[in-house]
Amino acid sequence: MLIRFGYDITITCPQPTPLVCLLNSHADRAGDIRAVEQVVTQPSVPNSSYTDLFGNICRRFVAPAGDFSIWGDGTIEDSGLHDPVFADAQEIAVADLPSECLVFLMGSRYCETDRLSQIAWDLFGNMAPGWGRVQAICDFANKRIKFGYMDARSTRTAYEAYEEQIGVCRDYAHLAITLLRCMNIPARYVNGYLGDIGVPILDPQDFSAWIEVYIGGRWMTFDPRNNIPRIGRIVVARGRDAADVPLINSFGPHELKQFRVWTYDVTGLPLPLPPISH
């Protein structure tokens, strides 16, 4: 299966403003790219890229004063399979975890393990360890939070999502991640593309948040917001929580003027031509 993905974002800055953007597909999918991601800005400005501590591709710009647009587009090959389910996968004891997993057991900006630890153990402490307990935590987050775009708040933490019982995909992810870490199960935040392949079209196209859990000796995908296996995820960035993977990190004020995302199946269609202009 071929999936075309991309974005068209316009911000307005009152003055020249440095930006760091995490918008490229993750480097671990580089071998699946079939039409190289094109990145075009209007006006055209120099840019450079680097890889951060979590392996994410970060692109640097200095946006001029006024409107500044970033447009990206690419095509990737995907298996077309649903997220895998390994119901017999077992949790790994903390003493046996790879060292690089340990950071994903600890509290972070939006994931207050100290505030949710007792709640987690009260809810899930008597459950058998393994895939079933991870799924039960995702089920709980899915039912605890009522989804609504109008309820988005960039500062909402996992504990606040638990208390308020409202939010968007990042809040489902933060709550599930925190409860998992409280149970000594490594969990990390994922930002990326998730289209409506194989499901009814329910929401406007947007970047999505889900989680990866270290279980059975590998990182596995779970999605507390949608809570069913899906087709065609394209990872952009991974981190401890949303603070590590902002789409746009601006070092100065800016206003979002336009935001459009696309991701859809183009199997059997010609690959897109490189853009001539934005």
Task: Kindly report the pTM of this predicted structure.
Answer: 0.94
What is the distance between the alpha carbons of residues 133 and 128, in angstroms, rounded to a whole number?
7
Predicted confidence band of residue 274 (pLDDT cuts 50, 70, 90) = low
The yes-or-no verdict on residue 273 having pLDDT over 80 is: no
Name the strands in the sheet holding 255-265, side by side, starting at the edge strand that comes first in the sequence. Answer: 33-42, 66-77, 2-13, 255-265
DSSP E strand stretches across 123-254: 146-147, 166-167, 187-193, 207-215, 218-222, 234-239, 248-250
Peptide bond before residue 14 is cis, with ω within 30 degrees of 0: no
Q: Please report how many Cα atoms fall inside a 13 Å half-sphere around the Cα of residue 228, on the Cβ side.
A: 7
134-155 per-position pLDDT tens digit: 999 999 999 999 999 889 999 9
220-253 per-position pLDDT tens digit: 999 999 999 999 999 999 999 999 999 999 999 9
Which part of the chain has CATH 3.10.620.30? 94-231
171-218 per-position pLDDT tens digit: 999 999 999 999 999 999 999 999 999 888 666 678 999 999 999 999
How much is the pLDDT for 63? 98
> CATH: 3.30.470.10, 3.40.50.720, 3.40.50.300, 2.60.40.2250. Which one for 2-80+246-265?
2.60.40.2250
**Angle 3-219-136 from CA coordinates, rounded to 5°:** 100
How much is the pLDDT for 2? 97
* CATH number for region 94-231: 3.10.620.30
The yes-or-no verdict on residue 269 having pLDDT over 90 is: no
How much is the pLDDT for 276? 47
Predicted confidence band of residue 275 (pLDDT cuts 50, 70, 90) = low
**Percent of residues in the chain assigned helix, strand, coil, to nearest 5:** 25, 35, 40
Which part of the chain has CATH 2.60.40.2250? 2-80+246-265
- 275 vs 31, which has greater pLDDT? 31
Predicted confidence band of residue 264 (pLDDT cuts 50, 70, 90) = very high
What is the distance between the alpha carbons of residues 89 and 9, in angstroms, rounded to a whole number?
40
How much is the pLDDT for 205? 79
38-82 per-position pLDDT tens digit: 899 999 999 999 999 999 999 999 999 999 999 999 999 999 999
Non-local CB neighbours of 55 within 8 Å, separated by 6+ positions: 26, 27, 28, 238
